[in-house]
Amino acid sequence: MKVKTISYQKVFPLGQYINERIGIECEIREGEDIMEVLSDAKAAVEKFHKDTNPGLYMSVNYEAFNQITSDCSPTSMNWHGGSVNANPLNLPPKEIQQQPPSDKIQSFIDTINYCTNKNFLMNFKKRVDEEESPRLTEAYYKKLKSFE
């Protein structure tokens, strides 16, 4: 069997039931390894997605996380004669669940700026209103106006 072209596609979730399909088709030259070409195609698709959706790839500040966890001592409770670690960080739930607002909003703004058409952008309207962020609202309407 002689393979002349090979293609690779991947569906990336963008959030709230919105997906993006990215694909590439490559021509295989005489003597090229098919698996190597396919691996390169996969890397190109994933790099394109990462480059065009930077808000989806935020890094975690592990230094700050380690500082929080090193200052806490675990608590435990007895349960049927055994010990269970009830709150390993010894933090109130609000501090555990809260995400820094600026990172969350900036990530959302980056996603909005990626929108390529008005219909796609309109899917974010309800969430923009729920966030009640002036920066986010401004970015949304600026992008919406760009489609007029």
CA 106 – CA 102 distance, rounded (Å): 6
pLDDT in the model for residue 112: 83
Q: Are residues 104 and 131 in the same domain?
A: yes
Q: Are residues 91 and 107 in the same domain?
A: no
Domain that holds residue 17: 5-52
- Tens digits of per-residue pLDDT, 13-22? 988 888 999 9
pLDDT in the model for residue 73: 41
Give the residue with greater pLDDT, 68 vs 7: 7
Residue 64 CA: distances (Å) to CA of 68, 70, 71, 147? 6, 10, 11, 41
Q: Are residues 39 and 15 in the same domain?
A: yes
Residue 77 CA: distances (Å) to CA of 68, 70, 85, 117? 22, 21, 7, 54
CA 64 to chain centre: 21
pLDDT in the model for residue 130: 86
Q: Are residues 80 and 45 in the same domain?
A: no
Q: Are residues 138 and 125 in the same domain?
A: yes
- Tens digits of per-residue pLDDT, 20-73? 999 999 999 888 899 998 999 999 999 888 888 887 776 655 555 555 444 444
Number of structural domains, the chain? 3
The token pair at 84 is 């269970």
Q: Are residues 83 and 104 in the same domain?
A: no
Short-list 17, 103, 14, CA closest to 60:
103
Cβ neighbours of residue 6 closer than 8 Å, sequence gap 6 or more? 25, 26, 28, 34, 37, 38, 41
- How are beta strands 75-79 and 5-15 bridged, if at all? unpaired
